Amino acid sequence: MRGFDTNVLVRYLVRDDPGQAVVVDRLVAETIARDENVFLGKIVLCETVWVLDSGYGYSRKEIAEVMEMLLKTQQFEIEQRDEVWRAVRRFQQGSADFADYLIGESNRAHGCDRTATFDRTLREEEGFEFLHALHAS
């Protein structure tokens, strides 16, 4: 199995560098020909979402569609696929960042009943505990 770094996955998805896209396409074809999978780690997925949003201006809807496509593609082995699916669903419906939802789902999978956060966008989200900061006087 071969793992992809974020920049390789982004080239595969966005195709903004034709030379690099050809190299990635060849790599994927070779991997499939050997009946292997490409591994996509959770960190790579979080970085990819961030790059698609901040670097390429993808909407939440477009990002969720890309993530669903990756999750449905048989040749991609996704680290903790079930957690990623749940995080994508929450990302589609909520207002927080994908990484925050994935952190929450990962924590839940490891036995946590809640995830403590100062992030206001998670204030009303199930499974998160919003902490109020103390202000020095």
Partnered with residue 130 across adjacent β-strands are 117
Q: Maximum distance among all alpha carbons in the chain?
A: 65
pLDDT digits (tens, 9 = 90+) for 80-97: 999 999 999 999 999 999
Q: Where along the chain do its domains lie?
A: 2-79
Query: Structure pTM?
Result: 0.89
Is the predicted pLDDT of residue 11 greater than 90, yes or no?
Answer: yes
CB 114 within 8 A of CB 103: no
CA–CA distances in Å: residue 21 to residues 14, 48, 53: 9, 16, 20
Span 8-20, mean pLDDT?
95
> What is the distance between the alpha carbons of residues 77 and 116, in angstroms, rounded to a whole number?
30
pLDDT digits (tens, 9 = 90+) for 30-39: 998 999 999 9
